[in-house]
Amino acid sequence: MDAAIKSIRPGKPSDRQPENRPAELDPAEFLGAAVRADQPRPARAEAEAAVKTLLAYIGENTEREGLLDTPRRVVEAFDELYQGYHQCPAEVLDRTFGETAGYDDFVLVRDIEFTSQCEHHMMPFYGKAHIAYTPVERVVGLSKLARLTDIFARRLQTQEHLTAQIAAAIDEVLKPRGVAVLIEAEHTCMSVRGVAKHGASTFTSRFTGMFRDNPAEQARFLSLVRGTTR
């Protein structure tokens, strides 16, 4: 489906984009690291104490052997799971290559696996991203699109926002003729809690430039993603 991605924090009605165009994102959301070097942050000891408090809240004995090192392990896991806050998306896309022999069709990287964390419940959602862009003279290394996906995925997210950020970063840095992003994912916040509907998949998409304006290019992208051209 091609859902219109609206700003997570919409402004006044007069500031909103027309309904037939995607809302613009603040470049700070997708061009730089989310955490500044001078940004005040709790000390590691404070973070570990917070984990210990949560363990006590659920009724655990925080002094039993199996939990003595759990606060440290949880904070270390957070450092890994949320490393995207300290990485710069623009730097990942910064190096491009011009030896393309005049290639003028779109480039598609399909089935990029990712895991992210829902910002509402801090529970994982995971799936695949499919990314295409139509270059202008220069291309970016294929692995960079996977790295870009991981940077945004390793932050607290909604799937809609993740989709929009990936497309916006490619659009802004590479200046291609168009970008297409399709993400399919399963959310554990609805598969293992709440309505507990295991196996339900969520699809989000974002199209810019020629993909947004040309239905035939959208259809060709979706056909290649689904493998129906084989």
- Positions annotated as catalytic residues are 118-121, 159, 187, 189
Cα–Cα distances in Å, from 42 out to 19, 96, 211?
Answer: 41, 38, 44
Backbone dihedral angles phi then psi of residue 31, each to the nearest 5 degrees:
-105, -25
C-alpha span between 24 and 206 (Å, rounded): 12
Going through 146-218 in order, the beta strands assigned E by DSSP cover 156-157, 178-187, 202-208
Give the count of alpha carbons within 13 A of 160, CB side only.
11
Q: Decide: 78 and 51 in contact? Cβ < 8 Å.
A: no
Cα–Cα distances in Å, from 4 out to 12, 24, 205?
Answer: 18, 11, 9
- Find the Cα–Cα–Cα–Cα dihedral 108, 150, 202, 124, rounded to 10°: 160
Q: Which of 155, 152, 168, 205 lies closest to 23 in space, CA to CA?
A: 168
Residue type, 196: A
